[in-house]
Amino acid sequence: MVKITFPDGNIKSFENPVTGLEVAQSISEGLARNSIALQIDDRLVDLSTLIDHDARIRLITSKDPEGLDILRHSAAHVMAQAIMRLYKGAKLTIGPAVENQFYYDIDMPPVSEDDFPAIEAEMKKITREKLPLRRKEVSKQQALEFYKDEPYKLEMVSALEDGTISFYEQGEFTDLCRGPHVPHTGFVKNTKLLKVSGAYWRADPSRPQLQRIYGTAFFTKKELKDYLRFLEEAKKRNHRKIGQALDLFSFHEEAPGMPFYHPKGMEIWNSLLAYWRLEHREAGYVETKTPMMLNRSLWERSGHWENYRENMYTATIDEVEYAIKPMNCPGAMLIYNHKPHSYRDLPLRVAEIGLVHRHELSGVLSGLFRVRAFHQDDAHLYMTPQHIEAEILGILHLAQRMYSTFGLGFQLELSTRPEKSIGSDQQWETATSGLASALDAYGQEYKLNEGDGAFYGPKIDLHIKDALGRTWQCGTIQLDMALPERFNLYYIDRDNERHRPIMIHRTVFGSIERFLGILIEHFAGKFPLWIAPVQAIILPLNDDLVPYCNEVHAVLKNAGLRVEVDSRSESLNKKVREAQLQYIPLILTIGDKEKQAGTLAVRTLDGTVKFGVTHETFLDTVLPHIHNRGLSLEIF
């Protein structure tokens, strides 16, 4: 007798051991058709797995989030099988499911998107064959023998511990895999290959470069169609494409992964930093600046030399080794220790816009999203244990104000003590309960990530959501019990004794480069008036009006607007169209009529055109909109 307990608490008994499929069939044929895998207690397994003991189970269907991961993992196998049929001699490595997609790294001749139709056609054949995906367990020695002519799989098997190793078979294709998988390849019918890129085996440039082929899979045609439409919209918003079109920034071979900001890009940059500084001054922060290059001994003291050395740029000066900072924290420790502190000084909120450098592999560089040189809006807060909740709340409210200014919401995650960590149980309890209490007091639902904190303390991550519904991890709040200890930070308390301060690392923008990239895609280049690099452009109807337009330009510029005059001898329609392509929020047309009346014809990005606007009315409307950092394009 086998007793099966379902998630709702109901129990069903079976005379003999049963598979997950048989359990589903005992309930309904519809459920059996929609079930793709099984969870036994806390373990995901194939639907064909035999349940031979009393267990708590959950049938995984196409409606469950785990279902899509399983489907996409199976799709990677189908794609690999198709490629092995088409490209004799191809060597497989790994093929995981990743967020919304899957990929497989394969040692094979270079392919391009032009080759995708042939691969997709072969994949469709495989799905029509409805090949069962059968799990097979072998010994390590048998696995080594099976893969004796497959160098990558052989290396992977060799690294595994002795014991049972699982394969999955579908027709003539066999792959090393933990599973689980869908019951048969017929489930993998709504797929699309997306892109191909190069990837080094084991991310090691000294190892062979592989073809990484990405695809996606869904259970329904509609879901696939919606996702492809989403990708097209995301493609239109690509910050690299928009950044080039609007002349905001560029990258050059002379400094890979290090952005060059053009004048228009600097206007946006300066607007962001001016706003950042305003909010931080009002929140009681002071600003500092630390050197970009620091002595090796400092990095040894902080632990970076031992744990982060391969990501740091170094130089030898006067026979002494230095490193360009990959983060601002150690310099901040030196500033704190420059003078003694009393409990009366705390909490102390110290911020820095620090330029940091980290050596990223060239293959992972991605516009402003993944760079080697970037600015962090760091802050280090020093406090007593009694301050933790109030300070965390202060950071959350600061982040809320700043993100909402850009029309961005955010989600929260609390990550707790990992398996490897420093600090006492009491320290972790104090730190974690402080973060949790602050989150509870803040009142927004949050996700708990057990065991995913930093080794030096628990943390809160803030994930912002953009106009396409994508989430980006930007802000973070981390309690650190390592650096105060390593740098012997202390304050004198009421008892005249030295005590270790609680320290918080936090960012709001995170990487300012990355945040700028997010904003470009969030607004699709149509920046709110207060951020726009060119806020207004004046278009004279004829060449005779250029001197007068220059006078109007001077008035508006003196009022604080970023304004230009397009004095080219081009048609008005062409100049209007080009200004719209540059997403200039205010297009001001001046003809003889406007000159005589002292007015403007104002065209905004939402398509509104308003005639007869006096200069005074224009400024009285526009300047408050800028001052209030309005998001709407409906300015008039």
What is the tens place of the pLDDT at every residue in 199-252? 899 988 889 999 999 999 999 999 999 999 999 999 999 999 999 999 999 999
172 plus 281 within the same structural domain: no
| C-alpha pair distances (Å), 91 with each of 354, 481, 624 | 45, 47, 63
Average pLDDT over residues 280-307: 93
Q: Give the pLDDT band (50/70/90) at residue 303.
A: confident
pLDDT over 90, % of the chain: 85
Q: Which of 73, 212, 357, 505 is an active site residue?
A: 505
Q: Which of 72, 189, 280, 329 is an active site residue?
A: 329
Higher pLDDT, 222 or 453: 222
Say what the pLDDT of residue 404 is.
96
Mean pLDDT of the chain: 94
Does the pLDDT of residue 452 top 90, yes or no?
no
Say what the pLDDT of residue 272 is.
97
* 81/122 Cα distance (integer angstroms): 9
Burial-class residue 11 by CB neighbours within 10 Å (0-12, 13-18, 19+).
exposed
Sheet containing strand 320-324, strands side by side: 293-295, 320-324, 314-317
Residues 96-129 pLDDT 10s: 999 899 999 999 999 999 999 999 999 999 999 9
The distance in angstroms from the start CA to the end CA of the chain is 75
β partners of residue 98: 101
* 624/380 Cα distance (integer angstroms): 34
| 176: its two tokens | 């090393």
Say what the pLDDT of residue 335 is.
96
Write down the number of H helices and E strands in the chain. 20, 35
280 plus 399 within the same structural domain: yes
454 plus 512 within the same structural domain: yes
* 239/337 Cα distance (integer angstroms): 41
Per the annotation, the verdict on 252 as an active-site residue is no
Kindly tell me the sign of the dihedral angle through the C-alpha atoms of 473, 477, 480, 483: positive
Does the pLDDT of residue 583 top 80, yes or no?
yes
CB 410 within 8 A of CB 475: yes
74 plus 49 within the same structural domain: no
389 plus 517 within the same structural domain: yes
97 plus 230 within the same structural domain: yes
What distance lies between CA 570 and its chain's CA centroid?
43
β partners of residue 609: 603
Say what the pLDDT of residue 210 is.
95
Q: Which of 264, 358, 514, 522 is an active site residue?
A: 358
Average pLDDT over residues 607-615: 93
Average pLDDT over residues 20-24: 93
CB 380 within 8 A of CB 501: no
Residues 457-493 pLDDT 10s: 899 999 999 988 889 999 999 988 888 988 999 999 9
Per the annotation, the verdict on 358 as an active-site residue is yes
105 plus 216 within the same structural domain: yes
Residue 312 falls within a domain, yes or no? no
β partners of residue 322: 295, 315
75 plus 50 within the same structural domain: no
Q: Which of 181, 264, 280, 380 is an active site residue?
A: 380
Q: Which of 153, 237, 459, 625 is an active site residue?
A: 459
| 171: its two tokens | 């027709």
Q: Give the pLDDT band (50/70/90) at residue 544.
A: very high
**CATH code for the domain of 348:** 3.30.930.10
Per the annotation, the verdict on 452 as an active-site residue is no
Q: Give the pLDDT band (50/70/90) at residue 519.
A: very high
CB 525 within 8 A of CB 534: no
Residue 531 falls within a domain, yes or no? no
pLDDT over 70, % of the chain: 100
Per the annotation, the verdict on 64 as an active-site residue is no
> What are the phi and psi torsion angles at 426 (to 5°)?
-65, -40
Does the pLDDT of residue 506 top 80, yes or no?
yes
Q: Tell me, what DSSP letter sits at residue 161? A: P
Does the pLDDT of residue 422 top 80, yes or no?
no
| C-alpha pair distances (Å), 85 with each of 66, 181, 394 | 29, 21, 59
Q: Give the pLDDT band (50/70/90) at residue 31.
A: very high
* 378/383 Cα distance (integer angstroms): 17
This prediction has a pTM of: 0.84
Q: Which of 81, 101, 211, 376 is an active site residue?
A: 376
Torsion angle of alpha carbons 443, 448, 453, 458, nearest 10°?
30
Say what the pLDDT of residue 307 is.
80
Range of the domain at 26: 2-61
19 plus 98 within the same structural domain: no
| DSSP E strands, 271-397 | 286-287, 293-295, 314-317, 320-324, 348-357, 373-383
CB 258 within 8 A of CB 251: yes
Per the annotation, the verdict on 181 as an active-site residue is no
Say what the pLDDT of residue 224 is.
97
Report which residue type is found at 67: G
Does the pLDDT of residue 369 top 90, yes or no?
yes
Q: Which of 115, 377, 378, 480 is an active site residue?
A: 378
Average pLDDT over residues 419-439: 85
Task: Work out how many domains the chain is built from and give that number.
Answer: 4
